[in-house]
């Protein structure tokens, strides 16, 4: 660095060809890496015809002619099965003609459409595809599911991993190095090997608890683990990589602090909660961030252990939507865009922590 700046001063004022080439290379790769994302955004705003024609940008941003706008907020008045006159205010989506095949979410199935007197309050043109994808892929439910899964996982992960990491960093007990070595060795085991047995284990554990009458989720089903939160969260509540990161950080906390706390009469739990954790906010934040991204990307395991919409997370939801709408490129891109946005927003706010977290730990999430 220092040498480079010296060089720079010497050559100030002249045209530095290597430097220009450097910028060209960097900008070139920037262009390449953003190109797919640009295409996702632009085609999510196109009509199906425009996507299929291979356009690079939406040409036809007209409202009214061949793109019917998306209704977001309406008041419907109709007569229901009991003969009562009902007025309902709700969000509905009126999708464009090309996407009629995905109209599983039409106005109402139990009422003939002609009988509805609709007062449309609020229309957003142009975001048609987003509305259709949001409704068609049920993305709202899946996002909510993902948030619930992340929340439960983190509640366990933070507590268990902090405790284990603290024991490894600050306590002396027989077999410490052996246990730590075994834990690090499990980092080498690919998930693929664990998936199948874990599926069987989770099923059997669920059956076991069900037979004992200990249903964690309080549901009426016999096996409460499969297709419910325990299968999706409990196996991920202690990850070796989190314990390792936390331990490495805890080991840097000076032992004088421990001595001082000890003299003041604090035990391990008090010291952990009042001194260690406040000093480790950064690492904990990185762990939370990666747990969130991991849950957002989880696909294989949810395919195995979920069978309905009640706990299916976002990646699986998006993937089945992509399968269903195989030919509707504009809707697929809109769905992908909706799924990508939260992570992009998160990244925009946390990018420094993120990049630093990755470069210090080398996590491959």
Q: DSSP letters along 162-226, please?
A: HHHHHHHHH---TTHHHHHHHHHHGGGS-HHHHHHHHHHHHHHHHHHHHHTT--TT--SSS-SST
Instruction: Report in angstroms how near the CB of residue 91 gets to other proteins at its nearest.
Output: 24
What radius of gyration, in Å, describes the C-alpha atoms of the chain? 27
Compute, in degrees rounded to 10, the torsion defined by CA atoms 103, 106, 109, 114.
-120
The 3-state DSSP class for residue 256 equals: helix
Q: By CB under 8 A, is residue 182 in contact with other proteins? A: yes
Q: Is 212 in the site for other proteins (CB under 8 A)?
A: no
- The contacts of residue 16 (CB under 8 Å, 6+ apart) are none
Q: How far is the CB of 144 from other proteins (least distance, A)?
A: 16
Tell me which of 95, 131, 167, 245 binds other proteins, using CB under 8 A.
Answer: 167
Contact region for other proteins (CB under 8 A) — 57-65, 72-80, 133-141, 192-200?
192-200
Q: Is 200 in the site for other proteins (CB under 8 A)?
A: yes
Torsions phi, psi for 253 (to 5 deg): -75, 125
Please pick, from the candidates 186, 274, 307, 310, the single residue that binds other proteins as defined by CB under 8 A. 186
Q: What is the DSSP string of 81-114?
A: TTS-EEEEEE------GGGGGGTTS-S-SSS-GG
Helices (H) and strands (E) in the chain, counts: 16, 3
x/- site string to other proteins, residues 51 to 90, per CB under 8 A?
xxxx-x----------------------------------
Tell me, residue by residue from 122 to 141, as one string, x for binding to other proteins by CB under 8 A and - for no binding.
Answer: --------------------
Q: Which is nearer to other proteins, 73 or 127 (CB)?
A: 127
Instruction: Tell me how far, at minimum, the Cβ of 230 lies from other proteins, in Å.
Output: 12
Q: How far apart are CA 151 and CA 158, in angstroms?
A: 11
Which position among 13, 15, 17, 23 is part of the footprint of other proteins (CB under 8 A)?
23
Tokens representing residue 276 in the block = 């260690």
Judged by CB under 8 A, the residue of 40, 79, 216, 279 near other proteins is 40
- Taking CB under 8 A as the criterion, the residue among 13, 64, 174, 218 binding other proteins is 174
Could you tell me the smallest distance in angstroms from the CB atom of residue 177 to other proteins?
A: 9
Question: Where in 227-246 is the site for other proteins (CB under 8 A)?
Answer: 234-235, 237-238, 240, 243
With CA atoms as reference, report the closest residue to 273 among 162, 140, 170, 178.
162
Residue 221 as a binder of other proteins (CB under 8 A): the answer is no
289 lines the binding site for other proteins (CB under 8 A): no
Backbone angles phi, psi at 212, to 5 degrees: -80, -5
- The stretch among 73-81, 91-99, 101-109, 173-181 that binds other proteins (CB under 8 A) is 173-181
Q: Under the criterion CB under 8 A, does residue 13 sit at the interface with other proteins? A: no
């Amino acid at each position: 660095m220092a040498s480079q700046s010296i060089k720079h001063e010497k050559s100030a004022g002249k045209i530095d060809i290597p430097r220009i080439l450097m910028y060209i290379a960097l900008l070139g790769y920037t262009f390449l890496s953003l190109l797919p994302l640009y295409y996702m955004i632009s085609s999510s705003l196109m009509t199906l015809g425009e996507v299929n024609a291979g356009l690079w940008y939406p040409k036809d941003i007209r409202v009214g002619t061949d793109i019917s706008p998306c209704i977001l907020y309406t008041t419907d008045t109709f007569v229901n099965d009991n003969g009562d006159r009902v007025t309902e205010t709700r969000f509905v989506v009126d999708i464009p003609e090309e996407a009629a095949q995905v109209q599983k979410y039409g106005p109402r199935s139990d009422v003939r459409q002609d009988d509805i007197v609709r007062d449309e309050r609020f229309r957003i043109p142009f975001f048609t595809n987003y509305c259709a994808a949001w409704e068609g892929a049920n993305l709202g439910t899946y996002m909510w599911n993902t948030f619930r899964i992340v929340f439960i996982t983190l509640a366990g992960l933070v507590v268990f991993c902090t405790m284990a990491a603290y024991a490894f960093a600050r306590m002396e007990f027989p077999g410490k190095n052996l246990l730590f070595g075994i834990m690090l060795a499990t980092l080498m085991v690919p998930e693929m090997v664990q998936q199948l047995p874990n599926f069987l284990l989770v099923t059997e554990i669920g059956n076991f608890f069900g037979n004992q009458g200990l249903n964690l989720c309080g549901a009426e089903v016999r096996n409460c683990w499969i297709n419910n939160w325990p299968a999706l969260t409990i196996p991920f509540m202690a990850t070796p990589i989190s314990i390792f990161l936390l331990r490495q950080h805890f080991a840097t906390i000076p032992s004088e602090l421990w001595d001082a706390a000890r003299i003041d009469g604090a035990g391990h739990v008090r010291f952990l909660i009042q001194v260690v954790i406040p000093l480790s906010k950064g690492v904990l934040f990185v762990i939370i961030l990666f747990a969130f991204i991991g849950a957002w990307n989880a696909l294989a395991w949810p395919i195995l252990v979920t069978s309905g919409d009640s706990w299916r997370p976002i990646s699986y939801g998006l993937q089945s939507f992509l399968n269903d709408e195989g030919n509707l490129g504009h809707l697929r891109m809109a769905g992908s865009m909706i799924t990508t946005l939260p992570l992009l927003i998160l990244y925009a706010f946390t990018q420094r922590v993120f990049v630093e977290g990755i470069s210090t730990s080398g996590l491959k999430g």
